[in-house]
């Protein structure tokens, strides 16, 4: 359960979700997310961590919208 929380929280943080909202959302998501979806979240976080330029581009795109 702790790993689920960490993965979701990290991904939301990477996407620029403020810490309070990320905490509340993580608490809800972690109890309902399917294991295969969680694995994809984890892989996405891995990719963004390994590719900071992709993370910057994604954040810039999100901020514009």
pLDDT band at 37 (very low <50, low <70, confident <90, very high): very high
CB 53 within 8 A of CB 61: no
Residue 10 is predicted with a pLDDT of 96
Q: Which domain holds residue 28?
A: 2-64
CATH number at residue 30: 1.10.60.10
Break the chain down into helix, strand, coil percent, rounded to 5: 80, 0, 20
State how many domains the chain has: 1
Please give the pLDDT value at position 17: 97
Q: How far apart are CA 14 and CA 25, in angstroms?
A: 14
Q: Indicate the pTM of the whole model.
A: 0.89
Residue 21 has pLDDT above 80, yes or no: yes
């Amino acid at each position: 359960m702790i790993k689920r929380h960490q993965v979701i929280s990290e991904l939301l943080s990477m996407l620029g979700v403020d810490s309070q909202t990320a905490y509340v959302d993580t608490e809800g998501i972690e109890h309902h997310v399917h294991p295969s979806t969680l694995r994809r979240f984890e892989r996405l976080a891995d990719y963004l961590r390994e590719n900071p330029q992709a993370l910057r581009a994604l954040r810039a795109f999100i901020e514009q919208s």
